[in-house]
């Protein structure tokens, strides 16, 4: 008992410290455990076993404690749940943020998993489904037929009408053909995939019409695969894997006008896969008759498997789920770095303003670029091989053609107009007034340049990142985006939230604050295809509710008149009932109206990207706790799992 009390006391102290998480705590924690880590590393052979044993012992203690708690709760649970199963979700949640972190650069001590799930093998088309060339049916070899089906499945998509897509597809398709097929099939325009396309549409329709039992069977098989391959053991804890299925082969689409669209994404085989696990774990077995490319034991990385895809030559990884310790720690670290920027951002701003006057052109260019990254939350923009990717740019790679200068525009002075394609080929268009010195510098940078020349010809991403690193350890353009996004959310919530508002009205304020951030970060989307229809349905509900309210008010008026005439208890109760009905319908109507406003305002803004990647979740959690908003209204179940550390850590007074 003493030991348990001591542990509880220790845990409470730790929790208190983490609640007010800051750099001081981290330094203290690291110092405190540095010697322990050195000691562990000295005995590296036995470290995994000892570490796992330590976790096992602690887990046993935890289980004993929990058993005691469960025992006390048993009677209450039985009474309160009417025979339903009690969710153990809360009790089983591993609070990794309350434990010490590795300070030697390692990410884990023990890692065991089953490896990836491969795409099913190709099933040839039934004999009755034919491919036609020049109007005549033609039997294709299995490899050629498989690639033809990829095109057939996309026949109704605008991609298949694009010249670059068709050219790349045909070139790669011919590589899969036999020499005989190559000699016959020489023109894509003579190919007829329509019968194949109709077959796949019918298949898709049949899947939609499946019986409940058939759907259940598929669901059970997916669940079996998830249980077998979707989890790993990391440092004695069962952790969910994010993407344990290998992507099937298909045609590369890319975003925007990607020069490689239409190329064949090849089937990934076990021989392409590098497995990463601990030496003392049970290694994953490759499918029968195959072998892995390599098995590694690198605990300085967080991936479980990797391979190189054939289109861009980039490395793909199987990683843990966002709710895992590894991902959570990375998120937490990201927001702590942005909070460190808050402490020195004034100094950095003063520095770049001073640099606008520098005698060196390269320093002036660097200072103006940094001003844009800070003020407009622009991405830095990486150098790319020409013709390898779509023509997208960031701050450092802006060209003369991407900006226009207006000494005066619409009653504003020194206006810069930006127009370029950013990440994922999303257009960035903005007219923004800038400071006079920035404007004069831009005029200088544009002198004697052609439209296709670089605006910042003395600057690239690596030069900028090196400079940012000198200003603050760990500083990048993304840290500026994270800082500006989070600080904007916090300020907007303070300005927009009224404590007297109803919960739906407060949530509307939250979404408006979130939208201000999404606009800052240029997170756009095309309005959903069903937008008009869903808005019409919502408007119909509003009209219906208004009619109900009108009828309820009439009934209340009649009840009041009745009570005035009779003055008895029965009529008094009737008035009260009708009043409550009016109140209830008014609340329902307001909810629907708020929903309509919210949906209309956000039809072209993607709120999710900033909410999940740029906004410190502790700001939202603190706001919920301060104004009594259920966290479920802001974060769905998956998001709550991802941000469990923030939900537990932040109190109502948390400041970014």
Q: What is the DSSP string of 481-520?
A: HHHHHHHHHHHHHHHH--TTS-HHHHHHHHHHHHHHHHHH
Q: CB atoms < 10 A from the CB of 445, how many?
A: 22
Distance CA 555, CA 562 (A): 10
Distance CA 417, CA 439 (A): 11
Helix, coil or strand: residue 136: strand
Which segments of the chain belong to CATH 1.10.10.41?
106-270
Q: Phi then psi for 105, rounded to 5 degrees?
A: 90, -10
Q: Which option is the CATH number for 106-270: 3.40.190.10, 3.10.180.10, 1.10.10.41, 1.10.730.10?
A: 1.10.10.41
pLDDT of residue 243: 92
**Which residue of the set 159, 199, 614, 635 is catalytic?**
614
pLDDT of residue 438: 96
Look up residue 278 and give its two tokens: 């601990």
| 419: β partners | 429
pLDDT of residue 149: 97
Tell me which residues of the chain have a pLDDT lower than 70: 1-92, 382-389, 524-526, 528, 604
Does the annotation mark 614 as catalytic?
yes
pLDDT of residue 233: 96
pLDDT of residue 256: 78
Which segments of the chain belong to CATH 1.10.132.10?
486-649
Distance CA 618, CA 655 (A): 8
pLDDT of residue 445: 95
pLDDT of residue 389: 65
Q: Which of 470, 385, 378 is nearest to 430 (CA)?
A: 378
Quickly name the fold that domain 486-649 has.
Topoisomerase I; Chain A, domain 4 (1.10.132)
pLDDT of residue 48: 41
> At which residue do the structure tokens 């701050």 appear?
395
pTM equals: 0.72
pLDDT of residue 385: 54
Distance CA 120, CA 21 (A): 47
- What confidence tens digit (pLDDT) does each residue in 624-643 have? 999 999 999 999 999 999 99
């Amino acid at each position: 008992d003493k030991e348990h009390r001591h542990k509880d006391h220790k845990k409470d102290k730790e929790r208190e410290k983490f609640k007010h998480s800051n750099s001081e705590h981290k330094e203290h924690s690291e110092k405190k455990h540095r010697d322990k880590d050195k000691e562990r590393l000295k005995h590296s052979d036995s470290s995994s076993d000892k570490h796992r044993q330590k976790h096992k012992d602690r887990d046993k203690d935890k289980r004993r404690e929990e058993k005691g708690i469960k025992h006390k709760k048993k009677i209450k649970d039985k009474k309160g749940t009417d025979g339903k199963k009690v969710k153990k979700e809360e009790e089983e949640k591993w609070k990794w943020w309350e434990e010490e972190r590795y300070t030697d650069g390692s990410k884990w001590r023990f890692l065991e998993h089953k490896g990836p799930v491969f795409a099913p093998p190709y099933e040839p088309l039934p004999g009755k489904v034919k491919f036609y060339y020049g109007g005549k049916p033609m039997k294709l070899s299995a490899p050629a037929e498989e690639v033809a089906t990829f095109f057939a499945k996309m026949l109704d998509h605008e991609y298949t009408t694009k010249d670059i897509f068709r050219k790349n597809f045909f070139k790669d398709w011919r590589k899969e053909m036999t020499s005989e097929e190559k000699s016959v099939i020489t023109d894509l325009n003579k190919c007829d995939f329509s019968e194949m396309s109709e077959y796949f549409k019918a298949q898709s329709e049949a899947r939609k019409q499946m019986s409940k039992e058939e759907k259940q069977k598929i669901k059970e098989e997916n669940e079996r695969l998830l249980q077998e391959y979707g989890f790993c053991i990391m440092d004695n804890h069962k952790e969910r894997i994010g993407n344990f299925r290998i992507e099937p082969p298909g045609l590369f689409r890319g975003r925007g006008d990607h020069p490689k669209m239409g190329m064949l994404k090849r089937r990934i085989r076990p021989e392409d896969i590098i497995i990463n696990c601990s030496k003392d774990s049970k290694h994953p077995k490759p499918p029968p008759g195959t072998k892995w490319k390599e098995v590694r034991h690198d605990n300085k990385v967080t991936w479980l498997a990797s391979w190189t895809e054939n289109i861009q030559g980039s490395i793909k990884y199987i990683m843990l789920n966002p709710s895992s310790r590894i991902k959570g720690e990375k998120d937490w670290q990201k927001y702590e770095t942005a909070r460190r920027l808050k402490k020195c951002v004034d100094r950095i701003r003063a520095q770049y303003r001073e640099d606008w006057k520098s005698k060196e052109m390269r320093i002036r260019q660097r200072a103006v670029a940094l001003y844009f990254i800070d003020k407009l939350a622009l991405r830095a923009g990486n150098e790319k091989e020409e013709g390898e990717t779509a023509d997208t740019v960031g701050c450092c790679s802006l060209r003369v053609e991407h900006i226009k200068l207006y000494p005066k525009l619409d009653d504003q002075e020194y206006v810069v107009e930006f127009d370029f394609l950013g990440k994922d080929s999303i257009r960035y268009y903005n007219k923004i007034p800038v400071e006079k010195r920035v404007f004069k510098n831009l005029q200088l940078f544009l002198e004697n340049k052609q439209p296709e020349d670089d605006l910042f010809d003395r600057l690239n991403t690596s030069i900028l990142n090196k400079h940012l690193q000198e200003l603050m350890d760990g500083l990048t353009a993304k840290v500026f985006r994270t800082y500006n996004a989070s600080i904007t959310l916090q300020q907007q919530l303070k300005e927009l939230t009224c404590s007297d508002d109803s919960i739906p009205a407060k949530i509307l304020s939250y979404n408006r604050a979130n939208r201000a951030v999404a606009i800052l970060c240029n997170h756009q989307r095309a309005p959903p295809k069903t937008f008009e229809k869903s808005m019409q349905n919502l408007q119909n509900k509003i009209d219906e509710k208004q009619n109900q309210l009108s009828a309820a008010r009439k009934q209340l008026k009649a009840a009041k008149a009745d009570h005035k005439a009779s003055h008895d208890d029965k009529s008094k109760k009737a008035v009260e009932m009708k009043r409550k009905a009016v109140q209830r319908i008014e609340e329902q109507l307001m909810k629907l109206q708020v929903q309509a406003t919210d949906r209309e305002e956000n039809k072209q803004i993607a709120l999710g990207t900033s909410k999940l990647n740029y906004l410190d979740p502790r700001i939202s959690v603190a706001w919920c706790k301060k104004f009594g908003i259920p966290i479920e209204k802001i974060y769905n179940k998956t998001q709550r799992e991802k941000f469990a550390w923030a939900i537990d850590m932040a109190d109502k007074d948390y400041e970014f």
